[in-house]
Amino acid sequence: MKSKIITTLLASIGLFAAAGAVQAQTQTAGDRVYVIDQRGEVVLSGTGLCWRTGFWTPAAAANDPAGCKCDKDLLPKEVCEPPMAKAAPAVGVKPAADKITVAADALFDFDKYTLRPEGKKKLDEVAAKAAAIKLEVIIAVGHTDRFGSDAYNLKLSDRRAAAVKTYLVSKGVNANKIYTEGKGKRNPVTKPDQCPGKAPTKKVIECLQPDRRVDIELIGTK
């Protein structure tokens, strides 16, 4: 699991830029969430792990032809091990993918990664949802607004995601089922001209609030 997380982070922060030809293939691969070479095959690392694109999530991998080959341990069992044709269908078992976006004004203060009391209440709801399903994985992805350097915001988003994981573990969620990642300021929700201003004034900070967020996705079965 640790090796796969490292692989994802390397792909997502652009260290794969040296492989320009392969990257070009990825951009024309439609909905694929793994890097595809000119033969249409998934590109493997030196240790045999599949290279993921920045659009990878367990939910998306479940719909990729190579998902079971590359990430079988993260996907619901019924996806990679479908029942025999003559077997009776399971009763009352339905896939459940519940994506929750938690605003950072509830979780964190501006430029902070310490959870606020309001944020803990939001995460209590997430923990309750996780307990109500047969949990496969929780993905917590931190984001920041545009103020600050790329390196600073990447660390801040990592710490926000880690703070969410620490709290969920304290509420009984299995730490091995929580995947965290920081995206920094690379994926803003606001449009480029929506919040004009080069200084972090109160007005601009409030306008950029949607960018300061943590996306939490729960994957499991009911």
Rounded CA-CA distance 69/49 in Å is 10
> Which domains can be identified in the chain, with CATH numbers?
2-75 (no CATH), 95-221 (3.30.1330.60)
Q: What is the pLDDT of residue 82?
A: 67
> Is the pLDDT higher at 30 or at 58?
58
How open is the CA angle 121-74-162, to the nearest 5 degrees? 35
- Tell if the pTM clears 0.75, that is, is over it: no
pLDDT tens digits for 78-127? 778 766 555 555 555 455 455 555 555 567 667 778 787 888 888 898 89
Q: What is the pLDDT of residue 97?
A: 56
Q: Is pLDDT of 138 > 50?
A: yes
Task: Return left, alpha or beta for 92; rule: phi > 0 is left, psi -120 to 50 is alpha, else beta.
Answer: left
